Amino acid sequence: MKQPNRRGAQPERRSGEHRRLDTDTDLAVLEAALREGRVTAADPAERELQELALALEADTPEPRPAFAEQLSKRVEAGFPRTGRAARARGGARRRLAGLRRPRRLLPALAVAATLLIALAVAVPLLSRDQTTGGSSVSAPSTGESADDAAPLQRESRSGMSQTPSPVPPTGTGTGQDFDPKRGQRSIERSASLSLEAPGAELDRLAEGVARVADRQRGFVLRSSVSSGEESGGGSLDLRVPADRLRDTLRDLSALGKVRSRSESGQDVTATVVTASDRLESARAERASLLRRLRRAGSDSQAETLRQRLDANAIEIRRLRSDLRSLRLRTDYAGITVSLSDESRSGDTLGGPTDSTQDALDDAVGSLQASLNFLLRALGTLLPLGLVLAATVAGGRALVRGRRESALA
């Protein structure tokens, strides 16, 4: 691609394409001369260029043989360090060894970091499961194992009903200012169970629940069951002796598919003791009033004492009623059984679909948690990384600029 008149043309009038062609052609001519070691072009301008290139190459300084030999020996020996320099280098190398070691331990560090991240993700998930698990205990639909996971077992070991209860205690008698050594504790227990069965079997299921209550020496306090294609379901409130709660729950769980189950307990010992003490005081007051009435000297005095005895009788009746109610609550555990049509609910605890769904939910949750963690980590690391990268790039540019200044 020879251009006869290109050298004589005005450079500023040439297009960018022509300039690029000139550059490429000139450099190709130049490379050819350097490669061949002689002038190869016929065009006078190109010959001039090649001669210049060869002249520049010929003007290459050559090293002194003594220096070349000396450096060759050093290269062969691997640039040995001597004297103070070697000692100084040795110290620096030892100091640097500490910095290099982490590089070797990089895989181990990576594994440790992964474990840490996994822990950071798993611990909140597990703690969340434990928090929600108390109020809704996953249990297989049938069998003894359903009872094995019952929180009441933990409750009986701990001796305090509040411990396993996920529900905050309500009522007045929380027992916070109560001496636990003072007699047997009174604990109000309750449980709720959600059972599923096919719509056609809901009635039979409700009967089964009643039979279980009866067998466990309990009773059905309230029941409401409806069946039909549109809305099948119901609920039953049971009262069973507190010491038979576990057996009752076990039997109830065997009746159908357990969708959810929860148990709770509340220590009402302080309330019971307070009511007992007040009843005892009221009775003592009544005895005292009766004694004073027998010794009354006037009618008006007797009338006053009678009025006070009436008020005292009312108070005693009220306290007896409270105590009776409290004993009923502590001697009997309340169980709320919800019945539902399984064809209307998508999933059931314990079933294969449920466990797959749970596993999927858990997987999605874990993924979300991991992503959240990564996002947070990125939110912190990204700006730091950018600042670091900018600093390194700036530092390099500075050093480069300072070096290049030597050529200015």
Residue 240 · residue 218 · CB < 8 Å: yes
Residue 408 within binding range of other proteins, rule CB under 8 A = yes
Residue 238 · residue 339 · CB < 8 Å: no
Q: Which is nearer to other proteins, 299 or 404 (CB)?
A: 404
Alpha helices in 134-201 (DSSP H): 145-148, 151-158
Residues between 348 and 387 that touch other proteins (CB under 8 A): none
Q: Which is nearer to other proteins, 77 or 384 (CB)?
A: 77
Rg (CA), the chain: 47
Residue 390 within binding range of other proteins, rule CB under 8 A = no
Residue 400 within binding range of other proteins, rule CB under 8 A = yes
Query: Per-residue x/- marks for other proteins, 55-94, CB under 8 A?
Result: xxxxxxxxxx--xx--xx-xxx-xx---------------
Give the chain's count of helices (H) and strands (E). Answer: 12, 5
Neighbouring C-beta atoms of residue 397, cutoff 10 Å: 10
Residues between 22 and 61 that touch other proteins (CB under 8 A): 22-24, 26-27, 30-31, 34-35, 37, 48-49, 52-53, 55-61
In the block, residue with structure tokens 């169970």: 193
Q: Which is nearer to other proteins, 91 or 180 (CB)?
A: 91
Q: Which is nearer to other proteins, 37 or 228 (CB)?
A: 37
Question: Bridge-partner residues for 265, per DSSP?
Answer: 189
Return the percent helix, strand and coil in the chain, to nearest 5.
65, 10, 25
Question: Bridge-partner residues for 337, per DSSP?
Answer: 193, 236
Query: Per-residue x/- marks for other proteins, 166-205, CB under 8 A?
Result: ----------------------------------------
SS3 365: helix
> Minimal distance in Å, beta carbon 56 to other proteins?
4
**Contact residues for other proteins (CB under 8 A)?**
22-24, 26-27, 30-31, 34-35, 37, 48-49, 52-53, 55-64, 67-68, 71-72, 74-76, 78-79, 400, 402-408
